[in-house]
Structure 1
Amino acid sequence: MGEEANAARNEAAILAASLNSELDKFSLLPMALTRDPQVKALVEGDLGEAASLNRRLETLATQSDAAAIYVMERDGRTLAASNWNLPTSFVGSNYAFRDYFKRAIERGSATQFALGTVSRKPGLYIASRIGPAGKPSGIVAVKVEFDATEDSWRRTTRGVYVTDADGVVLLASDPSWRFHILPGNEAKERDLDLDLKQFGLSKLPALEIDQRDRGGEIVQVPLVEAQQTISPAGWDLHLFVDPSPRIAAAVATGRLAFVLALAALGALAIAALLVRRRHRTREAAVVAERTAILRDQLSQANRLATLGQISAGVNHEIGQPVAALRVFAETGEKLVTSGRSDEAAANFREITRLADRIGRITGELRRFSRRNPAEPRVAAIREIIEGALLLLHDRIVSREAGILLPPAELLDVEVAAEHVRLEQVLVNLLQNALDASGPEAPVSIELTIAEHDVRLHVLDEGSGIDELQKEKLFHPFATTKQDGLGLGLVISRDIMRDLGGDLIFAPRANRTCFTMIIPRSL
């Protein structure tokens, strides 16, 4: 049973990390939107922004996989929403009664898991206040639904569910467990009206999971349960692993061994070997399938969490050109009216340049957030580097020391790989280097061109990595960051090896260096 308990703990840790990353991806979205000029204008009374903002929120919800993104004024009435054109539209509805609305107004941000009043679908609501505490002007909220996550759990696990601080089941691989309460918690006094509004039930039933009846197996034993903490305060993930197949196989093998021993020792040895090999093959296939699904989920969650971390900078990168576009357009109109056509033409050229820049930024975001990787293709290493720098541009220009780049003639070398996944690895490495370095310390990208591969080195002169940390660099959940998951380097190396290359740690003198080994185009 010790082996099964360890396996359960490891699998629960991977599932918890995947869910944490999914939640991190959405946590910064409402916060970034509270600083959006169009959102501020709407809650301050400019209702002419509503139609345009509805369409923007609809696009953003599609790109981020959010169930809904909506903006409420100070009294709780919804002014704009991503589902504005659906029968379940939030526009016009008042959500001042919701706990997340009240707490976000008071504290600046809040979360609440609840049943939708319009859609009747459960989800997590993440809310951020617009304006200061003394003078709030509204709320931006994001609703996140977990249908895809729960579907994945049903395909790959025996049973898994997530509870809040009061022991109420919020997410589950078995839908019939949702909004039940763990044994021992049902005796606590609860607000029946509040439960009815939040969960659709005034009386939450106790959770009962049959841990023994599993369809006539040779041996029936209790499931092994593992538990992991999730980021929102008080959330816990519970995972069940069934040890009975392993035990049943052992019992069946023992019985077979006893019978065959009476017949012939030689036949026993051959039969036992075949049974063990078949059992191991079946077990390995199940583990391989489960690992592949979880690896894909973690890679996508890591990529979207990275986008969440840089969303404020990207918003700034887009916001500045948009403001400049307006100024150039207004000035150009006046210049045309006054007959100064040459100066007006210069303004229109600037408008074209700024529009192209916005297009490059939004295109890079769409490519980077894509759920399914594209087919490998031949690409210049310049494309990968420029894409990563575009996503991190706001953070880079805010430093006194920028990013030192390789000579221009090396950037045209072609590699054979998948563009977005290479870019994901490079963004992770640059984020780590910038985190480790002070604002005046340089961070460098260098290239070494070999016959069969290109080696891209990311170097920094930060705090360095000690001997103990070196041993655990590529171990899951090993991190020196206070808020880190310890999965970035593990996922990055996994991506590089899947692409036929590798990711290695190769320090140089007093500089930390990580090297991406990328196959060349032949």
Structure 2
Amino acid sequence: MRISAQVLFAWAEFRIRLGAKPGSKGRGPTPQQRIDSGSPGFAGRDLLREAVARLRGRWLFAAIALALLAGAVATAGRIAEGQAADDLRDGALAALPLAAGTLTGEIEKQRLVPLVLARDDAVRDALRRAGKVEETALDAKLKAIAGDASASAIYVIDTAGMAISASNAGQPDSFVGIDYNFRHYFTDAMAKGAASQYGLGTISGKPGLYLAGRVDDGGKPLGVAVLKVELGGVEANWRASGFLVFVTDERGVVLATSQPDWRFHALAPLSAADAAAAHDQLQLVDAAFEPLPIRRGAGDGLATIEEAGKSRRFVEVVQDLPGAVPGWRLWLLTPADAALTAAANTARLTTLLGLLLMGLLAYVFTRRRRTRRLRQEALARMNAELESRVSSRTAELTRSNTALAGEIAERENAEAKVRRLRDDLAQANRLSILGQIAAGVAHEINQPVAAIRTYAENARRFLEAGKTEPASGNLTSIVSMTERIGAITSTLRTFARRPGVAASPLPVREAIEGALSLLSGRIRDSGVTIVKPRGTASPLVMASRIRLEQILVNLLQNALDAMKDRPDPRIEIDLAERGDRVLISVRDNGPGLQPDAAANLFMPFQTTKEKGLGLGLVISQEIAQELGGTLRLDPDTASGASFTIDLRRIE
């Protein structure tokens, strides 16, 4: 239809250019021009040649497009087939260990039976009196063992190769009295102690694997115990799996297979020497070892089986089986026709639809190019106007951004001032606390200073008297006293220092001990009993030690002030863990807080002390919030007041 339309279009253009219609305003020459040209058909021939050339160009373009389309579709099909083959190969490789395990498991299950029978006393006794007594008891025993082991047959052969007892004794196909001297498993077992051989049964005519073990008596061979494994159950499992599975020996002869008519075929034609060796090993008389109907592709990993005039494609994987019988290999073929055909057809259809869609889009694109050209000028005018508006708006936004940046800078400066004021206020609070505990610390220092003076005077007298040993003891005591003074002043310096911003993992008990150390003098002078947290656990929190000690010192100071002139004053410090939270409680047995005072406790400049500023608890609460926690007054306290610091525990 498309070609016919092109022909009609070219013919119509040809007629118009010839001026076929009277009064036509076409671009072709007029009749007078045709007369002037000297030949009425001259222009017509030129236009016809032009139309034919145009048709040829379009035909060539269409042919090239169709060739590219066919090539793309074919390539997509091949790629899809390759990917589908890879997926099938992955599935076959996953199923290969299971198929191999079915075979090796069956063989390994039976392999130990002949070796165990070779050590059995009943078997040895029977071989010692071979040919003299009928072994009915041993026959029954072998029959029971064969039934338990799911073996095809178990029998015992003397040194002459004659079967003296068998699990099928008394049956028409009994092995008793049969000469097996010609079997390789008999001669190899007598020579090496153990042997195996795959072949047809001389009585049953069924193929199987013979496993043999030599029976010895004090190093002297008495005979051979043999077990025959028929792999029919293994082959049935292979057939049920849906895969085509077979096992070959070292010469490529098929032994066990899910395709029964392939048994004793070969992967490739055997040479005369290999065929003779295979006949001897398998002890087959009329086997021709015909090649399997398998044809392998060149590098695509696919195998084609041609049977009954039909070709089927398979994905082929292989695995050696050294654990079963040396030289055996397991082959697993996965049917691939349906998957490869479906993948290729899907890819071809998808590619075809995609290319057609691309062609349609290209056609639409070319049709719209003309419309876009007409809109370009209008768009250019609109862009110019838009750019003008954008420039104006940009100028306004620039002015607004400049003003906003100024406001942000002012706000940041204000926030920085607030932070500095808050830090200064916290530092002032610490210095105020230091002023309050200075007397206690001075008292703490005076005692070791006085003791140092006494020890020094005594040491001088001892030295004058020539008593160096007591003098050395006094000097050691002086060193101990100076260390005590250093510890006290170090704690004060650390507490007075402005804390850094960064927090670190901190054991809570270290902060509690530091706060108690700062207030040790006042606590001792006030006679207050301090109850420390029970146990030895010290959970970690992310905090600055100085800031946490400042909160604890504030709470302990308030508790000491509240219990002034109280009988039996007592402060309990409790430490508890609840989930991922650590709770530090400071509880006193003072007079407690009135409801109105408790309601405004954390408001600035609200205090119950005569000389207090009302900032200690406010600062402590802000510090707790900076550490990611809270500080609260515990409600419903029976007596006194209780405050709890709630911080997040870290592992």
TM-score (norm 2): 0.37
Which protein has the bigger helix share? Answer: 2
- Say which structure, 1 or 2, has more relative contact order (CA 8 Å, 6+ apart): 1
Q: Whose radius of gyration is greater, 1 or 2?
A: 2
